Structure 1
Amino acid sequence: MAVIGQVTLDLVQTVKAARSAAEITAVLVRAGGIFGYERFAIAGVPQSAGENLPDRLLLMHWPEEWAARYVSRGYVQHDPVMAQVRRTTAPFLWSEVEVDRDAALARRVMDEAPAFGLGNGLCVPIHDIDGTETAASFGGARIDLSDEARAGLHLLAIYAHLASRGLGPALPSRIARPEGAPRCTRREIECIKWAAAGKTGWETSEILSLSQRTVEDYLSNAARKLGAVNRVQLVALAMRAGLID
């Protein structure tokens, strides 16, 4: 416990000193090598049926193909992990969540995640004084946490949430497109649509009969035009701009 405790305190101090989402992300990536997770995300639980993941996203380090799929299909409204956050304040494993056998979309979320390297994970529910709830999830193909490690990750999640919340949302609430800014081409939009469906660059290249390099160039150009820094943000911004459904 002493080792995990000291490591956790050191990580917490580094998170508290972070001045950007990138710095917080770097700390959590490093912590993954200690606690045994590979991916993570910190996002608020939807407060209405019309909200999607980007509306309350604070930090994202999911596989890009899964994140794009999750956003484009509105999985945040059906994710049983998010639903469990509303019911408890104690950290829990995804595998501990009971999924209603009649909830087809909830089962789909859990059934599809392992194919993207997210077989299990730990979720830390965070309930704020204003009544909002946030899920800090840490996952991978598998996860094996001792009680001490779970307690350490619980503490780190709380401070990472506080630090990231102080920086504001990861995506703007609306897009301001400068007059004269370049528009996405038909091919760029096609590539974004397939990215939103969870397809890799290679899979999209096969579907559209293009080279993988050409597909990646289309996505990079579209990201530059929309001001996105990664694929999940590109999909979210394209949806908000009405470029894809």
Structure 2
Amino acid sequence: MLVTETVLHLGPELERAVNRMDFFRLFKSLAGSHGFSYFGVTEVVSDEQGINLQHVHALHNLPASWFEDPKLQVIDARDPVFVRLQQSSAPCVMDLGQTPSEVLGCSGSDTVVIVPLHAATGKRYCLILVGGDAKPDHQALALIALDAALIFQRYFEVILSLDSISGLSDREIQIVRWTSEGKTSAEIAIILGLSEHTVNSYIAAVLRKLHVVNRAQMVASAIRSGLIT
């Protein structure tokens, strides 16, 4: 029987989470409490795109050096980890010794935990844990899944649902986040593989949607609403 008192995030720490950094810490703590060094949480956009850890809603601490293209940080749709995710609607443990992953194999660990997650909007997400020394048993896997569901539910309520309410697209939120980090339109265009004109068009659309008149107000409004941290 699952003992819910042992679940990691049923207390005040979860209730106090209000921004992406808080949820980054929660998922990292979940990974560490079960002996894993690395985690990744992101939306599963389509069967063809694989797992995009640069997605606007992604949280992860996987080293950029693991990826063939550090700027993209994608686990390819042909990777066994993504294939397994597509085949299972339940949490599962995967042995990389038997089915190697080009990206996650860099962890030096043979064990990957995959937890499918679902938002109230119907969008699919997933949690991946890697870098552990021991394969979790059924009890540990159930606790990981319960913890992940609790944290993700709060993440959806506090962050993801606000993104939908704001009316901003994923790309618009991504551009706002890069702007908040001091990037110019030209720099954002290079990072995202867009033209500078397209970036400026996105920014103009965001200004209208947030009812602000310049980039500084845009960033301030996005921070207040929790769209970015």
2:171 to 170, 173, 194: 173
Residue identity matched to 2:35: G
The unaligned stretches of length 5 or more in structure 2 are: 164-168, 197-229
- Cα shift at 1:31: 2.9
Question: Does the 8 Å contact 1:37/1:139 carry over to 2?
Answer: yes
Trace 1:26-175 onto structure 2 (pairs within 5 A). Answer: 26-47=25-46, 49=48, 53=52, 54-55=54-55, 57-66=57-66, 69=69, 72=72, 74-95=74-95, 110-117=101-108, 119-128=110-119, 130-166=121-157, 167-168=159-160, 172-174=170-172, 175=175
Instruction: Quote the RMSD (CA, aligned, Å).
Output: 4.0
CA distance in 1, matches of 2:23, 2:103: 28
| Aligned residue in 1 for 2:9 | 11
Instruction: Mark the CA change 1:240 to 1:50 in structure 2 (over 3 Å): closer, same or farther.
Output: farther
Identity of aligned residues (%): 15
SS at match of 2:81: helix
* Higher helix proportion (structure 1 or 2): 1
Contact 1:58 1:165 in 2 (8 A): no
Deviation at 1:236, TM superposition (A): 10
What amino acid does structure 1 have at the position aligned with 2:114? C
- TM-score, length-scaled by structure 1: 0.57
CA-CA distance at 1:16 after TM superposition: 4.1
| Count of residue pairs brought into register by the alignment | 182
> 8 Å contact 2:41–2:128 — kept in the other structure?
yes
Change (3 A) 1:11 1:96: same
Partner in structure 2 of residue 199 of structure 1 = none
**Match for residue 187 of structure 1?**
none
Tell whether the 8 Å contact from 1:114 to 1:141 is kept in structure 2 after alignment: no
Contact 1:81–1:97 (CA<8 Å) still a contact in 2? no
Larger RCO, structure (CA 8 Å, separation 6 or more): 1
Structure 1 residues not aligned, in runs of 5+:
100-106, 182-222, 228-233
Q: How far, CA to CA, are the matches of 2:138 and 2:47 in structure 1?
A: 35
TM-score by length of 2: 0.60
| SS class of match (1:145) | coil
Kindly provide the CA deviation profile for residues 82-135 of structure 1, in whole angstroms up to 9, marking residues without a partner as x.
232233222111327986xxxxxxx6xx03422244542211112456543221
